[in-house]
């Protein structure tokens, strides 16, 4: 059962989703990807709740049920600050905190770990765009930007995933915005400038055939972050949304197994 509540973020009202086990052993703060919303992670949250977690996930500014112009991001660090505001609201003193970010949410989660490392028990990155995407970066310099939204076929080998994404009215289906592309690029540069992740236990899960966060570009960024306690899983044949892949249950099981080593 999901609870929805609002908080005031840096630039507008944020809709926050909370799934809870009642007496959770740990909290997972979840950052969703570009153009989508936290409701798409119901199945991930349910599995984590079964493991004794509380899962809390805002719809980012300009996404889902939150306020703001659709899919417009001026500064990724605003979304990082929003995530910290959510953490201050929901994480009890002494509670173990895990940060999970997918795609653009992986950028947000990594910047959070760089800016607010105190109190973090673990970091989970799924298809994080922390190394950038040369194709998308090129769009930002075109005038006008072509009307090329995300192709749902790039998300998963399961065609029902793309169909559900295309039919979801809370998903943004329009073209990329120049300011958003530049904000993501600036955040990728900030991540590369450091600091690294140090000894923070980190799990990186990625699809071998991810076209939105190309594997080798992302691998280079992960290596530059120099997490000394890094676990990685690259899934053969998988595309961008590994939690929604045909082996998605295995991916979620791998996340839970990792968490059992740290929380």
Catalytic residues: 103, 210, 240
Cβ-count burial of 2 within 10 angstroms (0-12 exposed, 13-18 middle, 19+ buried)? middle
Phi, psi of 45 (to 5 degrees): -60, -40
Say if residue 240 is exposed, middle or buried (CB neighbours under 10 Å; 0-12, 13-18, 19+).
Answer: buried
Q: Sheet with 13-19: list strands edge to edge.
A: 2-8, 13-19, 53-58, 26-31, 96-102, 120-126, 202-207, 230-235
Radius of gyration in angstroms for the set of CA atoms belonging to the chain, rounded to a whole number: 17
Tell me, letter by letter, the H, E, C secondary structure of 114-153: HHCCCCEEEEEEECCCCCCCHHHHHHCCCCCCCCCCCCHH
Pairing of strands 2-8, 202-207: unpaired
- Residue 110: which residues within 8 A CB-CB, separation 6 or more? 101, 123, 125, 128, 130, 191, 197, 225
- Give me the pLDDT at residue 247, please: 98
In angstroms, the first-to-last Cα distance of the chain is: 23
Contacts 24+ apart (CB under 8 A), 40-43: 40/165, 40/168, 40/171, 40/244, 41/102, 41/243, 42/2, 43/243, 43/248, 43/252
Give 164-211 pLDDT, tens digit per residue. 999 999 999 999 999 999 999 999 999 999 899 999 999 999 999 999
Looking at the chain, list the stretches that DSSP marks H as alpha helix, in order from N- to C-terminal side. 42-50, 76-90, 104-115, 134-139, 159-167, 178-192, 215-225, 248-259
Which secondary structure element, helix H or strand E, spans residue 238, and what is its range?
none
Task: Tell me what pLDDT residue 216 has.
Answer: 96
Q: How many helices (H) and strands (E) does the chain have?
A: 8, 8
pLDDT of amino acid 136: 84
Cβ contacts of 119 within 8 Å, gap of 6 or more = 91, 97
Predicted local confidence at residue 182, as pLDDT: 94
d(C-alpha 263, C-alpha 139), whole Å? 41
| pTM (two decimals) | 0.97
Q: Which residue numbers in the chain have pLDDT < 50? A: none
Residue 104's pLDDT is 98
Q: Which of 25, 24, 44 is closest to 33 using CA atoms?
A: 44
Q: Which CATH superfamily is domain 2-259 in?
A: Alpha/Beta hydrolase fold, catalytic domain (3.40.50.1820)
């Amino acid at each position: 059962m999901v609870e929805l509540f609002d908080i005031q973020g840096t630039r507008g009202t944020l809709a926050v989703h909370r799934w809870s086990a009642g007496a959770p052993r740990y909290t997972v703060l979840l950052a969703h990807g570009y153009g989508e919303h936290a409701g798409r992670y119901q199945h991930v949250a349910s599995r984590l709740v079964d493991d004794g977690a509380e899962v809390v996930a805002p719809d980012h500014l300009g996404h889902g049920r939150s306020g703001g112009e659709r899919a417009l991001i001026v500064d990724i660090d605003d979304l990082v600050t929003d995530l910290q505001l959510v953490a201050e609201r929901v994480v009890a003193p002494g509670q173990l905190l895990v940060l999970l970010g997918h795609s653009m949410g992986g950028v947000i989660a990594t910047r959070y770990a760089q800016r607010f490392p105190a109190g973090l028990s673990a970091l989970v990155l799924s298809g994080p765009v922390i190394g950038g995407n040369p194709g998308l970066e090129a769009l930002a310099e075109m005038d006008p930007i072509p009307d090329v939204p995300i192709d749902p076929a790039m998300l998963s080998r399961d065609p029902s995933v793309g169909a559900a994404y295309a039919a979801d009215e809370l998903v943004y289906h329009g073209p990329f915005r120049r300011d958003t592309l530049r904000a993501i690029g600036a955040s990728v540069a900030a991540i590369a400038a450091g600091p690294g992740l140090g000894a923070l236990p980190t799990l990186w899960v990625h699809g071998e055939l991810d076209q939105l966060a190309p594997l080798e570009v992302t691998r280079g960024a992960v290596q530059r972050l120099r997490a000394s306690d890094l676990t990685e899983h690259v899934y053969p044949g998988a595309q961008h949304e590994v939690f929604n892949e045909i082996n998605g249950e295995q991916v979620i099981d791998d996340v839970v197994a990792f968490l059992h080593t740290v929380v």
